Copies of this chain bind each other. A is one copy, B any other.
């Protein structure tokens, strides 16, 4: 047992080394069809582990029907639903195709995807552009306004941002995120600092490459008015950082956490691409006026990838303003979340540090052994969608990753290590 413990520790140190030595850059925005060349026709990538139409929650179904109309695979939402029931669409997890998406996380070939490149390892990860707040597809919105916005992201903002990023040679994300942590962002429920810092790097290049003044002003307005714009950058940053830590023999470090609104799924380095799932939990949080927990859909989205790299709930100490927003207690106790999460991680970042905690590093590298042993579940900061299709966001809160995922993963991991 002692030798196996040492083997696992060494493998985890290597997983942590790979995650912490990542150098993610936002380098481009490209048509999804260029990235997802081998995707079968009418495939819809979604957040979380694999799921069928039958088991999908309301907002996920709402988003599916919306994106089917956007892609021209259905004439209207009703037609899309009928087709979905007949099995006309193929559903696969974003994570299986190098992608991530917040909440419902719809990724299809007709969209534009932001590209994050990990320059230490050469791998890439992809995510659609954040739609803004209000009625949006990631929260299950699917009406004409929602689809029109995605069309503009595809034909307007996406190509313009791509050209600007190529002109700049990319934007380094690790230093930007480090700065964001000193400015109250934890990069899950709060991205106002990183969104602003990104815009100020992007704006001059946008001005240089833009050919249409009104379109440039629209792009600057859209990005500048969206405090969560950076979320969809932080997420592929997370995936680009964790992917190189996949499939290290003997490592019990979590490489992905995600939710499809029905199941929570995790992947562990030593067990490769295998999903370990359990029913998602209900976020505990704050609701927008007119809504209550009775309206809420359970936990959803690939966004928990940011907790996997030590941000979000793990870096709550950097973001006291988030604590109140998600109804998690007193702002002055933000550091407690970070200290608690440090109990279940292999290490912490030297580059992502929290001033108010005297520059303690973001807790990084969740060890499934520590999670099961301590009973401390990863804390995830999240938005809350209405449980019905087409409504949108109703609140924000904090949610725990379900214990079941980690227990199943530990059993499988132990089996692989030859331990009963």
Contacts and interface: CB of A to CB of B under 8 A. Distances in A.
Interface stretch (A97-105, A199-207, A296-304): A199-207
Interface stretch (A10-18, A20-28, A354-362, A379-387): A354-362
A255 to B, nearest CB: 31
Contacts of A330: 358
A330 B355 CA distance: 9
A217 B208 contact: yes
Given A204-B224, A320-B355, 15 more contacts: A179-B192, A183-B184, A183-B192, A183-B193, A200-B200, A200-B223, A200-B224, A203-B224, A204-B217, A208-B214, A208-B217, A324-B355, A331-B358, A331-B359, A332-B356
Interface in A213-239: 213-214, 216-218, 220-221, 223-224
Contacts of A358: 330-332
A113 to B, nearest CB: 24
Interface string A310-321: 000000000011
B220 A204 contact: yes
A204 B207 CA distance: 10
A7 interface: no
A221 B168 CA distance: 12
A177 B70 CA distance: 40
Interface in A175-196: 179, 182-184, 192-193, 196
Contacts of A106: none
Given A199-B196, A201-B224, A334 B356 contact: yes
A184 B323 CA distance: 16
A292 to B, nearest CB: 25
Nearest to A179: B192
A197 interface: yes
Max chain B CB contacts within 10 Å: which of A182, A184, A201, A203? A203
B220 A203 contact: yes
26 contacts: A179-B192, A183-B183, A183-B184, A183-B192, A184-B184, A184-B193, A193-B193, A199-B203, A200-B224, A201-B224, A203-B220, A204-B218, A204-B221, A207-B207, A207-B210, A207-B216, A207-B217, A208-B213, A210-B213, A320-B356, A321-B355, A331-B355, A331-B356, A331-B359, A332-B357, A334-B356
A204 B214 CA distance: 9
Nearest to A226: B200
A165 to B, nearest CB: 15
Contacts of A207: 207, 210, 213, 216-217, 220
A200 B196 contact: yes
A319 to B, nearest CB: 8
A208 B358 CA distance: 43
Contacts of A193: 183-184, 193, 196
Residue of A199, A204, A216, A221 ringed by the most chain B CB atoms within 10 A: A204
Contacts of A184: 182-184, 193, 355
Interface in A317-340: 320-321, 323-324, 330-332, 334
